[in-house]
Amino acid sequence: MATPPPNNSLQTMLRAAVQSVQWTYSLFWQLCPHKGILTWGDGYYNGAIKTRKTVQAMEVSTEEASLQRSEQLRELYESLSGGETNAKTRRPCASLSPEDLTETEWFYLLCVSFSFHPGLGLPGTAYARRQHLWLSGANEVDSKTFSRAILAKTVVCIPVLEGVVELGTTDKMEEDLNFIQHIKSFFIDQQHPALTAKPALSEQYSTSKPTSSSSSYPLVTANNTIPIQNIVDRGEAIILNNNTKEAELAVPNSSFIPSELMELDATLEEFRVGSSGDGSNHLDSFPTEKSMALCSAGLELLQLQLPPAPAHPPTENLAQGGTDTHYSQTVSSILQKNSRRWPESPSLNLLTDSFQSAFNKWNSGADDYQHHFHVSVASVTSQWLLKYILFSVPYLHTNWLKGKGTSPYETSHVMAERHRREKLNERFLILRSMVPSVTRMDKASILGDTIEYIKQLRDKIESLEARKRLTGKRRMRQVEVSIIESEALLEVECVHREGLLLDLMTKLRELGVEVMMVQSWVKDDGVFVAEMRAMVRENGNGIKASVIEVKNALNQIIPRHEPYTLASSDHF
């Protein structure tokens, strides 16, 4: 229960209002923005004072006494609500105690603990309706057993500013609209304070107060006399209590306590709508009891007045349209945009008749021939290039990317297998075109024919290699002789043997061929080579040797190990 700090200007207005009509108290219920409820803003007590405590010896004016009393009552409330600890630390020697209060003071004190939700209680209802409420005979309404004049009999609530002003009095008064307007004027006028107006108002209050005070509050007047009269006041109070309760006169304190408890109960009943209090509970610690009661009362009010969380109305979610709805819109958009084209379409037949077309008229007679011809091929080459573009070409990229070292696109197993099959089929076709003798078209036959063809090729290779070897051997024996007049040039190439060169030169000498220069060497593979330049001389008969004679003579000397020597000689 947070109490807002006292607003001096507000209290001034409350004091001016309550004093102008000489009522017992005035309060301001202020709307709390956060909680949305009316709580005690400030107040001014203008009623009877039971016991006066002051450190000052001299007397103060009634006005000052009431102001001081209001503050003391608020301090007492704070100490009671704060518990014993706070009470000890805060209470100065001049502070009030619960037993120092009159009934009306208690009533005023209890108001501090109350709060009202708009529409609930007297102040709440006045605030909600934005019009004043005049409750006459308040004490009788709540409890018919209470007939004490000191209780608030009339309560008025007037909505002003951001809250409600409440005035109460112990006199029973009937509703008076002029009274309402009079009170309102204080709060409306005070919105625009005038410096000159304040002294005048103040003077009026001090002037009018003694007159009304003497006529309305005899008890209050008695307070201003000698101390002996104070005792008389207490006696009157006791008498009143006795008359009301019809109880035996005993210790004054004991009779006082039940009266206050009953009052507390009545007050709680008056301001707690629909709740039942336990005011009759007796506890030894009187201050603690009241403090708990005050806190309990406030909490109960808060709990009762807390509005339940408003239920959110369920929002209808429109059902989403199905696919058919969307497709209809798609079809509509297509038809609308393109509808203008249709009438403009020319006839193709007209164009065809006008020009020499590359196409022929369709001839259904050719169906049978074409049908038989193509059916056998369809299964092998059906849509070959189209499927190659769709099934194989896109995966060339994957192989290329793998080569580049980038992360490859993951190919599904099915596509990889299909890719492999396409390649195999392609290669079977190529293989079939390369093998000359193909018996049938199936893969097994193609493979078989290819195997046979490779065998034939191998046989050819072997025979060709054999012929190559024969040609090489045939060239291992060779003699060439040329004679021009008296000069001779000889070349010999044959298998080497020891002493071959000397034998050749000896033979030539016998024929009259005189060797002048010789170049001779033996190759790594054992072949003897000799190139000779010679002079041919006439023999005794005057005849020179012929080329044939020399050649035949040399051939007889060179080795003859090969079996085909004679054939070779004949050849040359």
Partner 1 sequence: MGASSDPTQDGSDEQQKRSEIYTYEAPWHIYAMNWSVRRDKKYRLAIASLLEQYPNRVEIVQLDDSNGEIRSDPSLSFEHPYPPTKAIFIPDKDCHRPDLLATSSDFLRVWHISESAVELKSLLNGNKNSEYCGPLTSFDWNEAEPRRIGTSSIDTTCTIWDIEKETVDTQLIAHDKEVYDIAWGGVGVFASVSADGSVRVFDLRDKEHSTIIYESSEPDTPLVRLGWNKQDPRYMATIIMDSAKVVVLDIRFPTLPVVELQRHQASVNAIAWAPHSSCHICTAGDDSQALIWDLSSMGQPVEGGLDPILAYTAGAEIEQLQWSSSQPDWVAIAFSTKLQILRV
160 bridge partner residues? 163
Q: Which CB sits closer to partner 1, 359 or 517?
A: 359
Q: Give which of 47, 75, 76, 74 is closest to 62, Cα–Cα.
A: 47
DSSP 428-492: HHHHHHH-S----SSHHHHHHHHHHHHHHHHHHHHHHHHHHHHHHHHTT-EEEEEEETTEEEEEE
- Report, in Å, the least distance between residue 121 CB and partner 1: 58
Q: Give which of 37, 42, 36 is closest to 14, Cα–Cα.
A: 42
Give the footprint of partner 1 on this chain (CB under 8 A).
Answer: 323, 326-327, 329-331, 333-335, 337-338, 341-342, 345-349, 351-352, 355-364, 367, 370-371, 373-375, 377-378, 381-390, 392-398, 400-401, 406-407, 409, 415
Kind and range of the H or E run holding 158? strand 154-160
> Within a 10 A sphere around the Cβ of 558, how many other Cβ atoms?
21
**Which amino acid, one-letter code, is at 4?**
P
Spatial separation of the C-alpha atoms in residues 32 and 163, rounded to whole Å = 9
Spatial separation of the C-alpha atoms in residues 507 and 556, rounded to whole Å = 10
CB 7, CB 41: distance < 8 Å: yes
- Report, in Å, the least distance between residue 421 CB and partner 1: 14
DSSP 543: -
CB 66, CB 45: distance < 8 Å: yes
Q: Which CB sits closer to partner 1, 146 or 395?
A: 395
- Report, in Å, the least distance between residue 496 CB and partner 1: 58
Reduced to 3 states, what is the DSSP secondary structure of residue 409? Answer: coil
CB 269, CB 121: distance < 8 Å: no
Q: Which CB sits closer to partner 1, 92 or 322?
A: 322
- Report, in Å, the least distance between residue 333 CB and partner 1: 7
Q: Give which of 495, 563, 492 is closest to 530, Cα–Cα.
A: 492
What is the Cβ-side half-sphere exposure of residue 533, based on CA atoms within 13 angstroms? 3
Spatial separation of the C-alpha atoms in residues 130 and 110, rounded to whole Å = 25
571 bridge partner residues? none
Q: Which CB sits closer to partner 1, 144 or 372?
A: 372
Our measurement of the distance from residue 345's CA atom to the centroid of its chain's CA atoms, rounded to an integer in Å, reads: 54
DSSP 98: G
SS3 readout for 518-541: EEEEECCCCEEEEEEEEEECCCCC
CB 107, CB 267: distance < 8 Å: yes
CA distances 339 to 196, 328, 336, 397, Å, are 89, 16, 5, 43
Q: Which CB sits closer to partner 1, 390 or 566?
A: 390
Q: Which CB sits closer to partner 1, 355 or 571?
A: 355
CB 508, CB 543: distance < 8 Å: no
Sign of the torsion formed by the C-alpha atoms of 245, 250, 252 and 254: negative
- Report, in Å, the least distance between residue 309 CB and partner 1: 37
CB 23, CB 168: distance < 8 Å: yes
Q: Which CB sits closer to partner 1, 178 or 406?
A: 406
Q: Which CB sits closer to partner 1, 337 or 571?
A: 337
Q: Give which of 280, 259, 290 is closest to 112, Cα–Cα.
A: 290
> Within a 10 A sphere around the Cβ of 217, how many other Cβ atoms?
18
Q: Give which of 288, 221, 370 is closest to 86, Cα–Cα.
A: 288
Q: Which CB sits closer to partner 1, 376 or 463?
A: 376
Reduced to 3 states, what is the DSSP secondary structure of residue 386? Answer: helix
Question: Taking the chain, what is the end-to-end CA distance rounded to the nearest angstrom?
Answer: 145
